[in-house]
Structure 1
Amino acid sequence: MNCRNCNTSLRTDYSFCPDCGAKVIRNRISVKNLLYDLIERYFNLDNTFLKTLWHMLIKPHIVCGGYIAGIRKKYLNPVSMLAIALTSSGFILFLIKKVAWDSIDFSSISYAQTSTGGSGTEKIISATMEYSSLIYFLYIPMIAFAGFVVFNKKQYNYAEHFVTAIYALTSFSIISTVYQAILLLVNPQVYIDTALIYVALMIFFCVYVSYKNSKFSKTSLLWRVPTFLLIFFMDYLGISMLSIVMLFLTGDISIQDFVPKN
């Protein structure tokens, strides 16, 4: 038989092609082998996915610095991490819209109130969720720029800080998926009310990753962390204003949502 990827002649006892390294597939696709491949790829104790998540918690500089230095097999690459994070975010978005939405009291959400009360808040949050993937992508260059300015002892270029930002954001997103799902099923109101706290924790995790990847002294954090947060906050304000403009242009919200009631 021949390898179906590179057409190299194979012995019948080969499990992998010696030329291109591809796995030898002998059976047709079935539900059973699809589940096996999924579990084998992402959930066995020795795979790169779980190792990447765990090491991003305890030694993120090894994961990020290793990838930047050219170590590409030990950990899951940032593009794959981003794909998994977007999938998990899509699952959380599904739970919000299809399971938890009717249980949320939008009139009690203090950080997104409009002059029309709960209906206006519901409209804005719903419209924002339509662009959640784009907003998630925009976080990456914001975190990368703040890290490039504040935590750059190793003289990484912006693209290398971009890699660090992807690892930090995606790791936090993936790890927090279980917590988010449980909270949405048990108490969706708390999930919505604490959304800003979740964002704050995400940013501080990114600060932690940037710091660990920089080798700066702990005392320098007294000014580096506030500077990082200031840069991110300025970028966040810009993105927020751009998002509002985009929602106006698309008709998702209107000026009537902000006109005070008589």
Structure 2
Amino acid sequence: MNCKNCNNTLRESQKFCDECGAKIIQNRLKPKVLVAQVNEQFLCVDNKFLRTFIHLFNKPEMVIVSYIDGTRKKYIDVLQYFAIALTLAGIQLFIMSTFFKESLDFQSGFVDGLNSSSSQKDNPFKNINTDFFSKSQSILYILFVPFYAFGTWFTYYILNERVYNYTEHIVINLYYNAQIIILTAVFGTLFAIIGVEYYIVSLALFIPTLLYLFYILKRVFKDTFWAAFLRFIIASFIALTSMFIIGIIITLLFIILSI
């Protein structure tokens, strides 16, 4: 018998491949088998998803550093976890755009004050359209990761604390962003049910999610409070500045190519 994933030779009694670690599936796909697999991965008390989600809060260094060091059985793989987060964000957007469309209306209530506080002629929010941002949120989430990773990597690089390379900082920020996306999707949906606009929820979560990055950096790099806070401030500044610069470059290129 050979592994269907890597073609490694297996013993009949093996439950997992000793080469690639894949679980040996011998039964044909049936509803009962699919239900058992979903329960094992997501619904049972001691499953990887729930364990990864909880430990990213109370001991994020266990999840992140273990993955970077090569221990990848206990928690969900970082790319899989990020993919699950994007899927939840997509489900959230579908639910809200189908059943709670008013919660996605940026013009309803939130901008009304801005509209009334300035003249309609000069008001930059007059014709604001957020459909693009709503429909492209998954792409935006993906694009944020390399900037956040550059911010954290470059911060520790210039401070001569080069514990992890840029790719490993990508891992740190993938887990961080996945956790934030999951929280935003859950809270955004729950608050939409009671009539709170999604953009209000996003603004309310903005500071806590930034502080969560500080918390992760402190735990992963084992810094003191003030040392971690300084690195967090520098990393945030670098990430936001790099996004701003790239945004300007892309805008200028778009203008030049449109002439």
TM-score, length basis structure 2: 0.77
Q: Aligned letter for 2:151?
A: A
User: How far did 1:148 drift?
Assistant: 1.0
Q: Aligned letter for 1:214?
A: F
Q: Aligned letter for 1:95?
A: I
Residues 15 and 24, structure 2, Cα contact 8 Å, conserved in 1: yes
User: How far did 1:196 drift?
Assistant: 2.6
Q: Aligned letter for 2:50?
A: L
Which whole-Å CA distance do the structure 2 matches of 1:37 and 1:137 have between them? 28
- Out of 164, 167, 188, the residue aligned to residue 180 of structure 1 is 188
Aligned residue for 1:146?
151
Residues 66 and 72, structure 1, Cα contact 8 Å, conserved in 2: yes
Q: Runs of 4 or more off by more than 6 Å in structure 1?
A: 7-10, 17-20, 111-114, 116-119, 242-249
User: How far did 1:40 drift?
Assistant: 1.5
User: How far did 1:7 drift?
Assistant: 9.4
| 2:213 aligned with 1:206 | yes
Which whole-Å CA distance do the structure 2 matches of 1:146 and 1:117 have between them? 30
Aligned residue for 1:23?
24
Which whole-Å CA distance do the structure 2 matches of 1:105 and 1:212 have between them? 36
Q: Aligned letter for 2:65?
A: G
Gaps of 5+ in 1: 250-262
In structure 2, the CA distance between the partners of 1:242 and 1:97, relative to structure 1 (3 Å rule), is farther
Gaps of 5+ in 2: none
In structure 2, the CA distance between the partners of 1:117 and 1:227, relative to structure 1 (3 Å rule), is closer
Aligned residue for 2:109?
108
Deviations 1:174-227 (A, max 9, x none): 2443322111121242x3224233233323222221221112221224532322
TM-score, length basis structure 1: 0.76
Which whole-Å CA distance do the structure 2 matches of 1:3 and 1:59 have between them? 38
In structure 2, the CA distance between the partners of 1:91 and 1:240, relative to structure 1 (3 Å rule), is farther
In structure 2, the CA distance between the partners of 1:95 and 1:248, relative to structure 1 (3 Å rule), is farther
Aligned residue for 2:142?
137
Which whole-Å CA distance do the structure 2 matches of 1:93 and 1:238 have between them? 29
Residues 143 and 206, structure 1, Cα contact 8 Å, conserved in 2: no
Deviations 1:17-69 (A, max 9, x none): 66775433434422x43233212211212222111111110111111111111
Residues 3 and 24, structure 1, Cα contact 8 Å, conserved in 2: no
Q: Aligned letter for 1:24?
A: I
In structure 2, the CA distance between the partners of 1:178 and 1:7, relative to structure 1 (3 Å rule), is same
What secondary structure does 2:52 align onto? helix
Residues 106 and 199, structure 2, Cα contact 8 Å, conserved in 1: no
